[in-house]
Chains A and B, each alone.
Chain A
Amino acid sequence: MSLLRRPPPDGTAPHEYNSKKKRKVAEIYQALNSDPIDVAALRRMAISEGGLLTDEIRCKVWPKLLNVKTDDLPPAPGKELREDNEDYQQVLLDVRRSLRRFPPGMPDEQREGLQEELIDIILQVLQRNPQLHYYQGYHDIVVTFLLVVGERLATALVEKLSTHHLRDFMDPTMDNTKHILNYLMPIIDQVNPELHDFMQSAEVGTIFALSWLITWFGHVLADFRHVVRLYDFFLACHPLMPIYFAAVIVLYREQEVLDCECDMASVHHLLSQIPQDLPYETLISRAGDLFVQFPPSELARKAAQQRVERTAASTFKDFELASAQQRPDAVLRQRFRDRLRVEERTKSFLTKPRTNRFVKLAVMGLTVALGAAALAVVKSALEWAPKFELQIFP
Chain B
Amino acid sequence: MEAAADLESSLELSYSGAGPGGLPPARSRIFKIIVIGDSNVGKTCLTYRFCAGRFPGRTEATIGVDFRERAVTIDGERIKIQLWDTAGQERFRKSMVQHYYRNVHAVVFVYDMTNIASFHSLPSWIEECKQHLLAGDIPRILVGNKCDLRSAIQVPTDLAQKFADTHSIPLFETSAKNPNDNDHVEAIFMTLAHKLKSHKPLMLSQPPDNDKIHLKPEPKPATTCWC
Contacts and interface: CB of A to CB of B under 8 A. Distances in A.
Interface string A194-236: 0000000000010110110011000100100000000000000
Interface residues of B, number: 33
B213 interface: no
Which range contains the number of A residues in contact with the other chain? 35 or more
A173 B1 CA distance: 31
A100 B88 CA distance: 20
A313 interface: no
Interface string B40-69: 100000000000000000111111111101
Interface string B116-146: 0000000000000000000000000000000
B95 interface: yes
Interface string B67-105: 101000000000000100001110110111011101000
B39 interface: yes
A98 B60 contact: yes
A208 B69 CA distance: 16
B111 to A, nearest CB: 15
Given A207-B99, A325-B95, A97 B8 contact: no
Contacts of A139: 61
B225 interface: no
B64 A173 contact: no
Contacts of B100: 207
A136 interface: yes
B82 to A, nearest CB: 5
B11 interface: yes
Interface stretch (A149-157, A264-272, A359-367): A264-272
Interface string A157-180: 000000000000000111101100
Contacts of B149: none
A94 B96 CA distance: 19
A330 to B, nearest CB: 10
A175 B39 contact: no
Contacts, number: 86
Contact of B63 (A100, A205, A215): A215
B61 A137 contact: yes
Interface in B26-49: 30, 32, 39-40
A136 B4 contact: no
Contact of A211 (B30, B58, B64, B102): B64
A105 to B, nearest CB: 12
Contacts of B91: 133, 135, 172-174
A99 B63 contact: no
Given A173-B95, A210-B96, A272 B40 contact: no
A327 B95 contact: no
Contact of A135 (B32, B67, B89): B89
A326 interface: yes
A137 B95 contact: no
B95 A174 contact: yes
A208 B64 contact: yes
A-B pairs, top 9 by smallest CB distance, nearest first, are: A211-B63, A210-B64, A136-B61, A174-B95, A94-B61, A207-B64, A137-B63, A93-B40, A136-B89
Given A136-B63, A326-B98, 10 more contacts: A93-B40, A99-B58, A136-B87, A173-B91, A174-B92, A178-B95, A207-B64, A210-B63, A265-B67, A272-B67
